[in-house]
Amino acid sequence: MQVVITAVGPDNQGLADPIVHYVSGAGANIFEIQMYDHDSEQLFAMLMRINWPDDQPLTGLRTAMKEIGAIKKLAIRTWSREERDDPPKIAICTTYRPETPLALLRAMRDKRLRANPVVMLGNRNSCRGLAEQFGVDWHNIGDSQGNPDYSRMVELFDQYDVDYIVLARYMRVLPAQVCWQFAGRIINLHHGLLPPFPGFRPYEDAFQHRMLTYGATAHFIVPELDAGNQIIHQTTFTVFPGTPLEQIKAIGEADNEPACLVEAVRRVVDREVELHFHRVIRRAGVNP
């Protein structure tokens, strides 16, 4: 069974040793391990991907990781996509625009996406009606100015036991601490083509460069903003010279962005691709 262990907490020495020693002593095969030291936040983060022995339940591993976390003051998560046979649980994060979360909810309702939307949350209430329409629990994690409570966000992800988190035009940058607690499990839609047009105004930036091709990019989240090696799927559309910017944005937001995100999430939930060593790879046995 493939298992991913993430550990995040205040930076210190010897934090990874007890985790490595436990899993290796239990007979697990470690085939990916990454450790990071974010000086600006004095944050230690580790990701470990292992093959856990089939004859040992994950409950024992989780108990051991919880004990290590309490001693070392680490938030440790033990997750395996292979633990359950039922469709993965999805959390959808939103801010203002409803098009992409609506496309995801319809695709899951119609079984084009084999996943279950268990919770929607946002730093604004703009998409609350969508959640109510589809019978999905809604939580607003923002204050009156839209500033998100990321501790509450993490609590909700744990409460609903989510497998994947989808940022459906969620217009805030996740802190590194949140990214690493759910490393390889957060899918973001960027409303522009990467790598040439990162940032918050990709339509405007492409328009200023007189581009006739516009696009959207769905990628796994890592702490670096709009980094380039984690792309899951990209879609594009072309316009005639002289097309107004507002018309371009309308096409992208209504059609191109939703199609891009739905296909990216499908690739992930169908286990066609995974994130390994910060790069998207095709899983063994999946046809081109």
What's 59's domain CATH number?
3.30.70.260
- Same domain membership, residue 97 and residue 210: yes
Residue 84 located in a structural domain: no
Residue with structure tokens 């996943």?
A: 115
Give me the average pLDDT of each 10-residue run along the chain (288 residues). Answer: 94 89 95 79 88 92 96 96 94 97 98 98 98 98 96 97 97 90 95 93 97 97 65 97 98 98 98 91 71
- Same domain membership, residue 271 and residue 137: yes
Residue 288 located in a structural domain: no
- Same domain membership, residue 251 and residue 185: yes
- Same domain membership, residue 224 and residue 98: yes
**Given this model, what pLDDT does residue 205 score?**
98
- Same domain membership, residue 45 and residue 102: no
Split into its structural domains, the chain has a count of 2
Candidates 100, 59, 79; CA nearest to 188 is 100
Range of the domain at 256: 89-282
- Same domain membership, residue 193 and residue 97: yes
Cα gap 3→78, rounded to integer Å: 7
* Domain limit, last residue, from 25, 52, 79: 79
CA distances in angstroms from 96 to 69, 104, 124, 189, listed in the order given: 36, 15, 7, 14
- Same domain membership, residue 193 and residue 74: no
Residue 206 located in a structural domain: yes
Residue 234 located in a structural domain: yes
Task: Bin 235: left if φ > 0, else alpha if -120 < ψ < 50, else beta.
Answer: beta
**Given this model, what pLDDT does residue 21 score?**
96
Residue 287 located in a structural domain: no
**Given this model, what pLDDT does residue 283 score?**
83
- Same domain membership, residue 151 and residue 9: no
- Same domain membership, residue 48 and residue 150: no
Residue 204 located in a structural domain: yes
Angle at 162 between CA 117 and CA 95, to 5 degrees: 60
CB 126 within 8 A of CB 94: yes
* Domain limit, last residue, from 23, 50, 79: 79
Q: Please give the model's pTM, rounded to 2 decimal places.
A: 0.94
* Domain limit, last residue, from 61, 79, 97: 79
Residue 233 located in a structural domain: yes
Provide φ and ψ at 154, rounded to 5°: -65, -40
Residue 94 located in a structural domain: yes
**Given this model, what pLDDT does residue 84 score?**
87
What's 187's domain CATH number?
3.40.50.170
- Same domain membership, residue 218 and residue 144: yes
Cα gap 210→151, rounded to integer Å: 42
Q: In what order do the strands lie in the sheet with 29-38?
A: 29-38, 43-51, 2-10, 75-79
- Same domain membership, residue 125 and residue 158: yes
- Same domain membership, residue 214 and residue 107: yes
CB 278 within 8 A of CB 229: yes
Q: Can you say how many angstroms the Cα of residue 93 is from the centroid of all Cα atoms in its chain?
A: 10
